[in-house]
């Protein structure tokens, strides 16, 4: 893939949580793991229509370079992009040099 196609900066984050003195969850936050330039491909036309009808957000694929950090990202992480949090549903290598992350934008 041409480096010029990876034209959007995304942030990988780990989900963090805190507990009170009684061991009850009191909040969830995010800690930055790293940043990468990505090529973003949004869902197909039929997926966009279905998401609009159901009131859901459509999926997107974020393609980055493959390196130690991107290989460590799992479905327990999230992507922060364009003011929204995206839940990673799949993280797989693509060819020899890229990683593909499929994610679903969280409802606002």
- What is the residue extent of each domain of the chain? 8-43+57-105
What is the rounded distance in angstroms from the CA atom of residue 38 to the CA atom of residue 6?
Answer: 4
- Predicted TM-score (pTM) of the model is 0.80
Residue 64 has pLDDT above 90, yes or no: yes
More confident residue, 53 or 21: 21
Helix (H) or strand (E) holding 45: helix 45-54
Structure tokens of 30? 């995010």
> Measured in whole angstroms, how far is the alpha carbon of residue 98 from the centre of its chain?
15
Mean pLDDT of the region 63-81: 97
pLDDT for position 66: 96
pLDDT for position 46: 56
Residue 79 makes CB contacts below 8 A (sequence gap 6+) with 10, 11, 12, 13, 62, 85, 86, 88, 101, 103
């Amino acid at each position: 893939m041409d480096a010029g196609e990876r034209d959007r900066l995304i942030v990988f984050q780990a989900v963090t949580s805190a507990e009170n003195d009684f061991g009850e969850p009191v909040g969830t936050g995010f800690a930055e793991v790293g940043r990468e330039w990505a090529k973003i491909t949004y869902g197909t036309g039929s997926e966009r229509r279905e998401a609009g009808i159901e009131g859901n957000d459509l999926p997107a694929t974020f393609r980055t370079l493959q390196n130690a950090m991107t290989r460590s990202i799992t479905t327990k992480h999230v992507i922060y992009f364009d003011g929204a949090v995206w839940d990673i549903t799949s993280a797989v290598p693509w060819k020899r040099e890229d990683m593909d992350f499929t994610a679903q934008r969280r409802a606002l």
